[in-house]
Copies of this chain bind each other. A is one copy, B any other.
Amino acid sequence: MNIGAVSEKSGLPAKTIRHYEDIGLLKPDRAGNGYRDYSMVDVHRLRFLQRSRSLGFSVEECRQLLSLYGDSDRESADVKAIANAKLSDIDRKIAELIGLRDMLRHLVKNCHGDSRPDCPIIEGLAGEARVQ
């Protein structure tokens, strides 16, 4: 499969896909003409990257997540440790997104258009997340 098709299927620009290859996140075959030749596994990895990057995980975190499978030299204890750590991150992110969503919903409901100066939503903006 050529890079254009993979781009469409993964939702990532071709530039980004080549970049991910440069930094070792995947290694597509090459066709006789020099074009990259992607498999469905590559598409899965790229889709996964698209998702997790857009959710605020760094490329290195994504690399760890990807290593949870596929790398046949994985060790069960490592896998579980990494996965559990990421599960905490994810739970926190979900909670924060829900907080953000509620805040915006409140804003949409209560801020009724006349540009009144003091909007009580400002309090909610910072969330009640414990710092540190």
Chain B proximity mask over A37-65: 1 for CB below 8 Å, otherwise 0:
00001011101100111111000000001
Taking chain A's interface residues, is the majority helix, strand, or loop, or is none over half, making it mixed? helix
Evaluate contact between B126 and A76: CB separation under 8 angstroms: no
Complex formed: what's the CA distance from A99 to B105 in Å? 23
What is the distance, in angstroms, from A103's C-beta to the closest C-beta of chain B?
9
Selected A-B contacts with CB under 8 Å, 23 pairs: A8-B132, A9-B131, A11-B132, A44-B125, A51-B96, A51-B129, A54-B93, A68-B104, A68-B107, A69-B122, A72-B115, A74-B115, A76-B113, A77-B113, A79-B108, A80-B111, A83-B107, A86-B104, A87-B101, A90-B104, A91-B101, A93-B97, A94-B97
